[in-house]
Amino acid sequence: MSSNIDLKRGLDIPITGKAAPFISKTIVPDIAAVRPGDFNGLVPRLLVSEGDKVLCGSPVLADKLHPEILLTSPISGTVQAIVRGEKRKLLSVLIKSDLEGACAEFDVSGAKTPEGIRDLLCKSGLWPWIVQRPYGTVANPDARPKAIFVSSFNTAPLAADNEFAFASEIQYIQAGIDALALMAGCPVHLGTDGSLKDSVFDSITGVEFHKFKGKHPAGNVGVQISHICPIRKDETVWTVSPAGLSAIGKLLRKGRLDLYRAVAVTGPMAIEPSYVRTIPGMSVSELAGYYGNTPENIRIISGDPLSGRKCGIDGYLGFFDTQVTMINEGTEREWFGWIRPLRYKQFSTDHCYFSWLTPWRKYDMDTNIHGGQRAFVMSDPYYRKVLPMDIFPIYLAKACLAGDIDRMERFGIYEVLPEDLALCEFIDPCKNEIQDMIAKGIDLMRKEMA
Amino acid sequence: MNKIFEKGGKLWWLHSTADAFDTFLKVPGTVSGKGSSVRDAIDLKRIMIMVVIALVPAALFGMWNVGYQHNLTLGDGRLQILANFWYGFLHVLPLYLVSYIVGLAIEFGSSQIRGEEVNEGYLVTGFLIPLILPVTTPLWMVAAATAFSVIFCKEVFGGTGMNIWNPALVARAFLFFAYPNQMSGSQVWIPNPGPDAITGATPLALDGPAQYGTGFWDLFIGTTPGCVGETSVIAILLGAILLLWTGVASWRIMLSSVLGALFVGGIGQMAGVTGIACWEQLLIGGFAFGTVFMATDPVTSAQTNCGKWFYGFLIGALCITVRLFNPGYAEGMMLAILLMNTFAPLIDHVVVSCSISRRNKKFNAA
């Protein structure tokens, strides 16, 4: 079964620095980090101490709520440091590579039954690839999802092109999908890019295809779910990214943990943007060749510029991220920006400027927010034009601000993650942090509904 | 910004004001924190200044018309563009000074108390207030009305974006109820009329252009007595074009307001309640100005697209209803908009509830 869905609303942000489709190098990082902060809803319990030797695939952390869920080391080496923040919150476990590449062997012969697959994924540290909706947390192994959703394409600005990144990994993705379908016993929906004539994902079997055509956020799995079968109260669905499926497939085929994947190094400040092959947790300083000699003024983001995480040159690539973006910190101040008629170098979707008349142009965007923060002035439809979902974004954001559970429920908190409203935040003339409001609303829901 | 305005500095108590002037000169150097790293270049200053620019034609014409109406009472009906404009400019400028000085002082002060940046909303409100008053309004009344509306209609709710009613209209409503003699009748529209002058009421008060001897073009161009900015439909249309091009104002509200007025005006005409043709209702009084600049205020109007249709239609319909049935004070636009400001949240509530229950039904069917 397949369906075609045309999404009219959305916005592709014209930012320079798209990665050229070739792998410029494979990075075997010297230091890799396991960051519990990458996983929503996971309460980490430390399983190693400094100086311990670990293999690629050895457990490093476990979830306190579901002790069977493990986080494992992406490389072999020694635990160099355990980094804690305020109130001794565990921030990351740093592992120094011994360059031997020794891997823990997993017995995949048991992965013929739902329980066997579940145990294998938990043990190997691949379970956290399965994200549960509502709320976008690490999936509960005991839950029975209604369906599994996979989006095969990214529409976020400068995002990695999955057609290129996974061209040679379709067999693993197929193996991953088969295993998850068997384990969960529910349909798998695959959202593909309807603007492509043929996609490498077309050959996948055992899924329901849905072709989505449209601008960002058409590739966000949350938007796709809301058009395929929206999430209602007390329902659970799972989402997995192609990178996760590929890692699961490789584990099943090879019996070893292999997290290497193509990561797009992008952004206006990236020197010769292209792809690298690397693992999650890679130290960003490994990308020194891409940001040049003056990293002080560059913001390095693990993820896309709309909803990625600021990580800095001493940071680490996020577990789920297949993109690193480098943009200039925009601290320069422009004279009379609000009245200058053209502001040729700035992009705006609003017709108060003229950049909408030159849709072919790309812009060297920076991190300046171009204004001061204000209360919401514009009305809901202003934001809705970039959100192809049947919800009222500003009503939802205000309900989250007010902490009003009933209204959050009515306005669709179960269906969104902050990333789905990232474009609303981008175009907001009042410069509100809408994603943060939604994230806090989701946290409140999780606390209250637990 | 200078260190003395920063927290702990000597002039910390002026930081909102300093910040307002600082960001007036240069775009702030703030970089994004949490969330999206890149942002659209649009900000509230730009949006507000668009509305002010859209108001400029109406303001300029209004100033000229003040001089023209004055000279008309002296028996001098020549156009005299510069001389009439200068006369009107000198009479309208004090209104502007009072409106901006009083309003901005309160705005700056309350931003300071709240510890927030100064919001740009008052740039528009301050520009609107003189345009919707008779030019002869005493300055102290303008000051009192401005202070009342900024404090009690805006700041007590938390500033721009939080208010329920349009502050400029509340200023006018304050004067209308407190000093009705200054707001209507036949004496207020023309400063220093000549001794033998036949001072005139607005076409509206005289029950239509037919009796007043003004034709379509007088009304369309705006060479009639009235509040400073409201008379010239063509100047207002110029502003409307800019607002619609930039998308700052909602075309749904403008269109539905016109439809509402035509609807009730048409019924009134057919039933013989009034002799004014329904399309003439669009040209006289404050209808055009209110529809384009006041009803479309994004904060106080309906927040949903569907709600905007109802909201605009009811404004147009109510305005003409007041005109038809209230011989004592025929100008219904101000009260129609304020009333619908009050009901806008209710309209939105109904629209949003319907949308959600339609969605739930779709879910349950699926």
pLDDT in tens, B32-65: 888 899 999 999 999 999 999 999 999 999 999 9
Q: Note whether A422 and A433 are within 8 A (CB).
A: no
Q: Which pLDDT tens digit goes with each residue over A334-391?
A: 888 888 888 888 999 999 999 999 999 999 999 999 988 999 999 999 999 999 999 9
B41 touches chain A (CB under 8 A): yes
A413 touches chain B (CB under 8 A): no
Structure tokens at B77: 């009906």
Which residues are CB-neighbours of A165 under 8 A, at least 6 positions away? Answer: A242, A261, A262, A264, A275, A322
Q: Which residues in chain A are closer than 8 Å to B352, comparing Cβ atoms? A: 392, 395
Q: Per-residue pLDDT averaged across A46-72, rounded?
A: 95
Quick check: A35 pLDDT over 50? yes
Whether residue A369 and residue B31 make contact (CB cut-off 8 A), yes or no, is yes
- Kindly report which listed range (A117-131, A388-402, B71-85, B304-318) carries the lowest average pLDDT score: B71-85
HSE-up of residue B348 (Cα within 13 Å, Cβ side): 20
Partners of A347 in beta bridges? none
B-contacting residues in A 351-410 (Cβ below 8 Å):
351-353, 355, 365-382, 390, 392, 394-395, 410
Q: Per-residue pLDDT averaged across B255-274, rounded?
A: 93
Q: Which pLDDT tens digit goes with each residue over A201-254?
A: 999 999 999 999 999 999 999 999 999 988 888 899 999 999 999 999 999 999
Q: Which residues in chain B are closer than 8 Å to A429, comparing Cβ atoms? A: 40, 42-44, 46-47
A332 touches chain B (CB under 8 A): yes
Q: How far is A76 from chain B (nearest CA, A)?
A: 33
pLDDT at B183: 80
Secondary structure class of A5 (helix, strand, coil): strand
Q: How far is B361 from chain A (nearest CA, A)?
A: 12
B-contacting residues in A 76-135 (Cβ below 8 Å):
none
- CA angle centred on B95, ends B64 and B180, rounded to 5°: 100
Q: Which pLDDT tens digit goes with each residue over A310-328?
A: 998 899 999 999 999 999 9
Place B210 in a pLDDT band, splitting at 50, 70 and 90. Answer: very low
Radius of gyration of chain B (CA): 22
> Percentage of chain A surpassing pLDDT 70?
100
Q: Which pLDDT tens digit goes with each residue over B285-312?
A: 889 999 999 999 999 999 999 999 999 9
A-contacting residues in B 75-104 (Cβ below 8 Å):
none
Whether residue A307 and residue B35 make contact (CB cut-off 8 A), yes or no, is yes
B248: nearest CB among A15, A347, A352? A352
Structure tokens at B59: 């303001």
- Kindly report which listed range (A118-122, A205-209, B323-327) carries the lowest average pLDDT score: B323-327
Q: Which residues in chain A are closer than 8 Å to B155, comparing Cβ atoms? A: none
pLDDT at B3: 74
In sign, the C-alpha dihedral spanning A155, A161, A167, A173 is: negative
Q: Per-residue pLDDT averaged across A164-182, rounded?
A: 95
Place B144 in a pLDDT band, splitting at 50, 70 and 90. Answer: very high
Mean of the per-residue pLDDT values for chain B?
88
Q: Per-residue pLDDT averaged across A52-78, rounded?
A: 95
HSE-up of residue A61 (Cα within 13 Å, Cβ side): 26
B34 touches chain A (CB under 8 A): yes
Q: How far is B314 from chain A (nearest CA, A)?
A: 19
Q: Which pLDDT tens digit goes with each residue over B61-84?
A: 999 999 999 988 888 878 888 999
Quick check: B208 pLDDT over 60? no
Q: Per-residue pLDDT averaged across B100-129, rounded?
A: 92
Whether residue A410 and residue B356 make contact (CB cut-off 8 A), yes or no, is yes
Q: Which residue, among B15, B32, B246, would best test binding to A if mutated, counting the most A CBs under 10 Å from its CB?
A: B32
B28: nearest CB among A336, A351, A371? A371
Q: Per-residue pLDDT averaged across B242-271, rounded?
A: 94
B202 or A83, which is more confident: A83
Structure tokens at A432: 């509100």
